[in-house]
């Protein structure tokens, strides 16, 4: 237990507590209730990134966490500063990202009096955090921070908020930091039930058409190698949700694409025709399942997840397994290997292999007959071509996206190679996520190239963060897929609202080159296909913050597409 013989202020205790948690970076924005903390920051060696909007602080902490696997930290003042964090906290919550958000609060004596810049941020954020704290005494700061980091980084990961009153940061305390965390009401299950794992192994080895359906839980539990090992052990096809992309290389022979509303036809076909569906760290959200009663209706579902609340929430699981994905997969692989190597199981293994060969050949045939396509001969710049060019030029880059059509094109056309390579807002679908999350990813992984693939609508949500990238010399390249529309909304208006494009045309709303240059970044515009590769390479090689505005075909839509509420094998087809 770390102790000091002299008292320090609550603000200094805050800094010392972060050091005890090995925090190296804070994304924040100062304000009145935080003045004691910022005064303490002035004298410490923690790296503080000054964002230009508090929402960006939360997204940057989120991007940092997703890229590194560590807990991201953000800091905002009371009242509007705290409430500006909410969208970022909700984004992290939906995607199970580990962040601890700190907010300043008015003096304890003023709480409930509608004091200047007072907001009940613990009450406001209760539905979108794993847990939150209101700290009103200096001596409670270390324990609250210790518990917050433990909760954020264990079990199903997620955001925790710690609200600290101003008087708590001023009062003196004899600092000591807890060595251990013991929260009786919070005991995540890590080790899966062995009987259930054995049942799962039995069903998998009996399967004629097994399929692995994997989500972001595989990445957050660092279980990607185990996922690939299981797939290769029994030659099982794998489909990865948006949050799971990168858990298996896109080029792997067993990877059949992303499923769901905008998923690959082969991935959806495999789900609908599987007889055993092995769900690993995925939560069966509506964008993946389509019409619930039709989803994998002929399959026995094995569901592995650390959060018991997710199991059978949307899709009934015949074999539920609560536990950490990495630990459960290790045990499952061990049991399967044991059975494979037992002579009495030779006939079972031969039958499995014969059936599986037919299934895999069927999948490969379907995949070859249903590739992703777009008009590569078009004189216009197609957005898919932009993503393919980025993938060619920067194959190992961390790819961050905003939300919309460009997000789906990035998911489909970038060749992902490793986990944590793809960072995107999935559950909440937050426009404006991309640039600040890219800042967080670059801070966390300074040796990686970081590219933000965004849309002209999304980019304007938090474009002020160009200034943050410039100030801290973060060479992030933002590639704007500029179609002059709020593209995904326009696509829905085209397909479902008789082409009544109500308030979605934003063509020529801003000169992105001048905007970038105004902040001190490089600005580029691409209007010809022949200039795209050269310009992107120049931006990437510049090692400076850059914005590349690519004017693409305005009418291009995202396909495949399954209408909302339809079965995932019921597609809208593009006009010939």
- For range 240-259, the mean pLDDT: 97
Is 1 assigned a catalytic role? no
Two structure tokens written together for 481: 């897929």
d(CA 243, CA 238): 14
Band (pLDDT 50/70/90 cuts) for residue 3 is low
**What CATH number corresponds to the domain at position 82?**
3.40.50.970
User: Which domain-ending residue is among 143, 177, 211?
Assistant: 177
Q: What is the mean pLDDT of the chain?
A: 96
- Specify the DSSP class assigned to residue 157: -
- When pLDDT is averaged across residues 16-43 and rounded to a whole number, the result is 97
Shared domain for 108 and 200, answered yes or no, is no
345 found inside a domain? yes
Question: Are 501 and 415 within one domain?
Answer: yes
Give the domain-ending residue among 177, 202, 228: 177
116 among known catalytic residues? yes
Q: Residue 422 falls within a domain, yes or no?
A: yes
Q: Are both 99 and 52 inside the same structural domain?
A: yes
Nearest partner of 9 among 47, 39, 29, judged by Cα: 39
Are 50 and 158 part of one and the same domain? yes
The active-site residue, picked from 16, 54, 147, 465, is 54
Q: What percent of the chain has pLDDT over 70?
A: 99
Same domain (yes/no): 360, 413: no
Query: Does a structural domain hold residue 568?
Result: no
**Is residue 102 within 8 Å of residue 72, measured between CB atoms?**
no
Catalogue the E-assigned strands of 281-421.
Answer: 300-305, 319-322, 398-401
Q: Please give the tally of structural domains in the chain.
A: 3
The model's pTM is 0.96
Burial 492-519 (b: 16+ CB within 10 A, else e): ebbeeeeeeeeebebeeeeebbebbeeb
Min mean pLDDT across 30-44, 213-227, 345-359, 449-463 is at 345-359
Digit-coded pLDDT (tens) for 139-165: 999 999 999 999 999 999 999 999 999
Positions of E strands within 291-405? 300-305, 319-322, 398-401
Residue 169: partners with Cβ closer than 8 Å, 6 or more residues away: 9, 10, 11, 14, 34, 36, 37, 104, 138
Residues 272 and 400 in one domain: no
Q: What is the pLDDT of residues 516-557, one digit of tens each?
A: 999 999 999 999 999 999 999 999 999 999 999 999 999 999
75 and 120 in a single domain? The answer is yes
User: In the annotation, is 253 catalytic?
Assistant: no
> Which of 147, 177, 207 corresponds to the end of one domain?
177
Per-residue confidence (pLDDT) for residue 5, from 0 to 100: 67
For residue 182, tell me if it sits in a domain.
Answer: no
- Burial letters 372-400, b for 16+ CB under 10 A, else e: eebeeeeebbbbbbbbbbbbebbeebbbb
> Would the pLDDT of 384 be above 50?
yes
Going by pLDDT thresholds of 50, 70 and 90, the confidence category of residue 264 is very high
Task: Say if residue 142 is in the same domain as residue 37.
Answer: yes
Residue 492 contacts residue 498 (beta carbons within 8 Å): no
Choose, from 94, 243, 488, 561, the residue flagged as catalytic: 488
pLDDT digits (tens, 9 = 90+) for 338-369: 999 887 888 888 999 999 999 999 999 999 99
User: Pick from 31, 36, 60: which is nearest to 47 by CA?
Assistant: 60
Mean per-residue pLDDT, 381-410: 98
Q: How many CB atoms lie within 10 A of CB 541?
A: 13
Residues in the chain: 576
557 falls within a domain: no
Q: Tell me the residue range of the domain where 490 lies.
A: 383-551
**22 domain residue, yes or no:** yes
Q: How confident is the model at residue 261 (pLDDT cuts 50, 70, 90)?
A: very high
Q: Tell me the CATH number at 245.
A: 3.40.50.1220
User: What does the pLDDT look like over 266-297, one tens digit per residue?
Assistant: 999 999 999 999 999 999 999 999 999 999 99
pLDDT digits (tens, 9 = 90+) for 460-519: 999 999 999 999 999 999 999 999 999 999 999 999 999 999 999 999 889 999 999 999
What is the band of 316 on the pLDDT scale with cuts at 50, 70, 90?
very high
* pLDDT at residue 4 greater than cutoff 90: no
Whether 374 is in a domain gets the answer no
Same-domain status, 324 and 236: yes
1 pLDDT band, cuts 50/70/90, is very low
Pick from 483, 453, 506: nearest CA to 380: 483
Q: How far is CA 172 from the centre of its chain?
A: 39
Which of helix, strand or coil describes residue 456? helix
Q: Are residues 339 and 389 in the same domain?
A: no
* Contact (Cβ atoms closer than 8 angstroms) between residue 371 and residue 514: no
Q: Tell me the C-alpha distance between 481 and 34, whole Å.
A: 39
Mark whether 54 is an active-site residue: yes
Residue 447 lies in a domain: yes
pLDDT-based confidence at residue 575 (cuts at 50, 70, 90): confident
532 and 409 within one domain: yes
Q: Clarify whether residues 155 and 256 are in a common domain.
A: no
Catalytic residue among 70, 130, 157, 166: 166
């Amino acid at each position: 237990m770390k102790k000091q013989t002299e008292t320090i202020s609550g603000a200094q205790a805050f800094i010392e507590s972060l050091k005890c948690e090995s925090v190296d970076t804070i994304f924040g924005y100062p304000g009145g209730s935080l003045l004691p903390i910022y005064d303490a920051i002035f004298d410490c060696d923690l790296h503080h990134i000054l964002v230009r909007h508090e929402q960006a602080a939360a997204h940057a902490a989120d991007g940092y966490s997703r890229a590194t696997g560590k807990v991201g930290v953000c800091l905002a003042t009371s009242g509007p500063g705290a409430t500006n964090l909410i969208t970022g906290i909700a984004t992290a919550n939906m995607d199970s990202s580990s962040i601890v958000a700190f907010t300043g609060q008015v003096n304890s004596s003023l709480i409930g009096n509608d004091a200047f810049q007072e907001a009940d941020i613990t009450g406001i954020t209760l539905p979108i955090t794993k847990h939150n704290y209101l700290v009103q005494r200096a001596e409670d700061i270390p324990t609250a921070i210790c518990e917050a980091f433990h909760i954020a980084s264990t079990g199903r990961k997620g955001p925790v908020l710690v609200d600290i009153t101003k008087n708590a940061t001023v009062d003196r305390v004899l600092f000591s930091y807890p060595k251990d965390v013991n929260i009786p009401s919070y005991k995540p299950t890590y080790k899966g039930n062995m009987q259930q794992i054995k049942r799962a192994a039995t069903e998998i080895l009996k399967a004629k058409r097994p399929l692995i359906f994997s989500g972001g839980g595989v990445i957050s539990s660092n279980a990607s190698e185990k996922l690939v090992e299981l797939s290769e052990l029994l030659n099982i096809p794998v489909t990865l949700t948006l949050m799971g992309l990168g858990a298996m290389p896109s080029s792997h022979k067993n990877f059949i694409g992303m499923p769901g509303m905008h998923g690959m036809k082969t991935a959806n076909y495999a789900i609908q025709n599987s007889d055993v569906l092995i769900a690993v760290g995925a939560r069966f959200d509506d964008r993946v399942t389509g019409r619930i009663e039709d989803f994998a209706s002929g399959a026995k579902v094995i569901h592995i997840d650390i959060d018991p609340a997710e199991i059978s929430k949307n899709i009934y699981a015949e074999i539920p397994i609560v536990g950490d994905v990495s630990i459960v997969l290790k045990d499952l692989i061990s049991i399967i290997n044991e059975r494979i190597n037992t002579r009495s199981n030779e006939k079972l293994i031969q039958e499995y292999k014969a059936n599986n060969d037919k299934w895999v050949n069927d999948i490969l045939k379907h995949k070859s007959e249903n590739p992703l396509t777009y008009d590569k001969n078009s004189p216009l710049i197609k957005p898919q071509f932009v993503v393919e060019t980025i993938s060619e030029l920067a194959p190992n880059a961390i790819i961050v996206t905003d939300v919309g059509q460009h997000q789906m094109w990035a998911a489909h056309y970038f060749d992902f190679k490793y986990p944590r390579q793809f960072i995107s807002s999935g559950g909440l679908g937050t426009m404006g996520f991309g640039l600040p999350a890219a800042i967080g990813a670059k801070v966390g992984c300074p040796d990686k190239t970081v590219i933000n693939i965004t849309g002209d609508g999304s980019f304007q949500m938090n474009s002020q963060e160009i200034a943050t990238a410039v100030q801290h010399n973060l060479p992030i390249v933002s590639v704007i897929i500029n179609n002059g529309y709020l593209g995904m909304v326009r696509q829905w208006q085209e397909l479902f609202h008789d082409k009544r494009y109500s308030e979605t045309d934003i063509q020529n709303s801003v000169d992105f080159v001048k905007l970038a240059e105004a902040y001190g970044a490089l600005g580029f515009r691409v209007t010809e296909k022949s200039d795209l590769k050269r310009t992107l390479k120049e931006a990437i090689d510049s090692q400076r913050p850059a914005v590349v505005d690519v004017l693409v075909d305005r009418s291009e839509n995202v396909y495949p597409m399954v209408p909302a509420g339809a079965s995932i094998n019921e597609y809208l087809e593009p006009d010939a």
